[in-house]
Amino acid sequence: MKLSKRIQNVAPSATLAASQKANDLKAQGIDVISLTVGESDFDTPEYIAQAAIKTVKEHTGDRYTPVNGIPELRQAIADSYKRDADVRYDLDQVFVGTGAKNVLFTLFQVLVDPGDEVIIPVPYWVSFSEHVKMAEGKPVFVQGPYEDSYKITVEDLEKAYTDQTVALLLNSPSNPSGVVYSQEEIQAIGEWAVEKDVVIVADEIYSRLIYNGQEPVSFVRTTDDVRNQTIIVNGASKTYAMTGWRIGYALGNKEIIAAVSKYASQANGNPTGISQHAVIAAYNEETDEVEKMRQSFEQRLNKAYDLIVSIPGFKLANKPSGAFYLFPDVTEAAKMTGYDSVEDFNLALIEEAHVVTVVGSSFGISDCLRFSYAVDEATFAEGVQRIKEFIEEKR
């Protein structure tokens, strides 16, 4: 039996592998603290669950739907941008797919030919580079300075650009760093992309999870020319605690949206009808449960940040303002406890302190570890306490 070169070239998802590692240890009866998760720990809000129950009972979600999503859902998504940013999108500018991850995968399938380059700022979410490789493209990594939370600038892009560059992936708020670009920075990057005719894929899946007075920032709020050069990717997973429902979307340039639809018509078919009806309610009937979840993450960030920077040898240049991760540089802590690398330090944390995080190399920066604070505050505090005791013992 032979497997394709394509699949042999793909790295398995490091975040899913880390969660699995934590589950394996738990199954062995070990009391493990897992700070690996990339999802909200809240239940999906009741008003959304009720909409899904209604759909099941009334059999309105039983059948195939249009490949690009039920028009009412595409309208609800377009309306949310009209409401929030006063920007109008037509229905043929919206594609609804099976989660943002699959939407991103499909986008790279339609944008990238073999050998084409896609610029990806580091640190990056684990799937971006693999999606580009699965399209036989070449990820080109660009990293800004630690002091600026690794944010990239137009000058960095200029250096990375070649004749082969077809797209730029920008994820703000970022997984794993939590950094949020300013509206001015986004506009400048957008203008550069227009000038070079590089498509911007803007992963804004955490756009509603912003904290401590951070203004909403989005490619939707740029000028018409930049907006037309951009495909926004977003979805219900993070905002509405709906990761398992698998609804994400792409928004923007009509030609690209039509191409994504054509690909999906052969590769996927439609996303689940029941989930689509639930997400229509999520957008159109939003209650204050959604804002309460955001407030809870804000509170957890504020506590988790103070705890993380209080660990000897852990450093963070800035406090993040979005998503639900902290991505400290821990090289000093590794050194002070006698480990040659952060990978080894991380293994020891798992095996001896029984705290599981995700190692930074999977996000392109081997000096860091990614901590998710989408867990209850006591669990996070206990994880930090164990790490402190571990460091105290070893140094």
Binding letters toward ligand PLP, positions 149-178, x by CB under 6 A: ----------------------x---x---
Closest CA to 73 of 291, 254, 275, 255: 275
State which residue, 149 or 237, has the beta carbon closest to ligand PLP. Answer: 237
Task: Confirm or reject binding of residue 100 to ligand PLP (CB under 6 A).
Answer: yes
- The nearest distance, CB 234 to ligand PLP, in angstroms, is 8
β-pair partners for 139: 118
Q: Which amino acid is at 105?
A: F
- The nearest distance, CB 86 to ligand PLP, in angstroms, is 25
State which residue, 229 or 237, has the beta carbon closest to ligand PLP. Answer: 237
State which residue, 93 or 106, has the beta carbon closest to ligand PLP. Answer: 106
Task: Confirm or reject binding of residue 203 to ligand PLP (CB under 6 A).
Answer: yes
Please say whether the beta carbons of 356 and 36 come within 8 A.
yes
Position among 74, 101, 300, 354 found at the interface with ligand PLP (CB under 6 A): 101
Please say whether the beta carbons of 198 and 168 come within 8 A.
yes
Position among 237, 261, 270, 372 found at the interface with ligand PLP (CB under 6 A): 237
- The nearest distance, CB 336 to ligand PLP, in angstroms, is 31
Q: How many residues bind ligand PLP (CB under 6 A)?
A: 13
Position among 61, 99, 178, 364 found at the interface with ligand PLP (CB under 6 A): 99
Task: Confirm or reject binding of residue 202 to ligand PLP (CB under 6 A).
Answer: no
State which residue, 216 or 335, has the beta carbon closest to ligand PLP. Answer: 216
Position among 61, 69, 190, 248 found at the interface with ligand PLP (CB under 6 A): 248
Which range of residues in 61-69, 94-102, 253-261, 296-304 is near ligand PLP by CB under 6 A?
94-102
Please say whether the beta carbons of 241 and 44 come within 8 A.
yes
304-338 burial, b at 16+ Cβ within 10 Å, e below that, comes to: bbebbeebebbbbeebbbbbbbbbbbbbebbeebe
Closest CA to 295 of 194, 209, 190, 197: 209
- The nearest distance, CB 219 to ligand PLP, in angstroms, is 15
State which residue, 122 or 348, has the beta carbon closest to ligand PLP. Answer: 122
Q: How far is CA 199 from CA 180, 190, 315, in A?
A: 20, 9, 34
Task: Confirm or reject binding of residue 251 to ligand PLP (CB under 6 A).
Answer: no
Tokens of 114: 């073999």
Residues 66, 58: Cα–Cα separation, whole Å = 19
75-91 burial, b at 16+ Cβ within 10 Å, e below that, comes to: bbbbebbeeeeebebee
- The nearest distance, CB 243 to ligand PLP, in angstroms, is 5
Position among 70, 180, 201, 205 found at the interface with ligand PLP (CB under 6 A): 205
Task: Confirm or reject binding of residue 75 to ligand PLP (CB under 6 A).
Answer: no
- The nearest distance, CB 102 to ligand PLP, in angstroms, is 7
Which range of residues in 95-103, 180-188, 221-229, 376-384 is near ligand PLP by CB under 6 A?
95-103
Residues 214, 105: Cα–Cα separation, whole Å = 29
Task: Confirm or reject binding of residue 69 to ligand PLP (CB under 6 A).
Answer: no
Please say whether the beta carbons of 63 and 273 come within 8 A.
yes
Which range of residues in 64-72, 78-86, 99-107, 187-195 is near ligand PLP by CB under 6 A?
99-107
- The nearest distance, CB 244 to ligand PLP, in angstroms, is 9
- Cis amide bond preceding 173, omega within 30: yes
Determine the residue with CB nearest ligand PLP. 99
Task: Confirm or reject binding of residue 125 to ligand PLP (CB under 6 A).
Answer: yes
State which residue, 193 or 323, has the beta carbon closest to ligand PLP. Answer: 323
* Residues within the interface to ligand PLP (CB under 6 A): 38, 99-101, 125, 171, 175, 203, 205, 235, 237, 243, 248
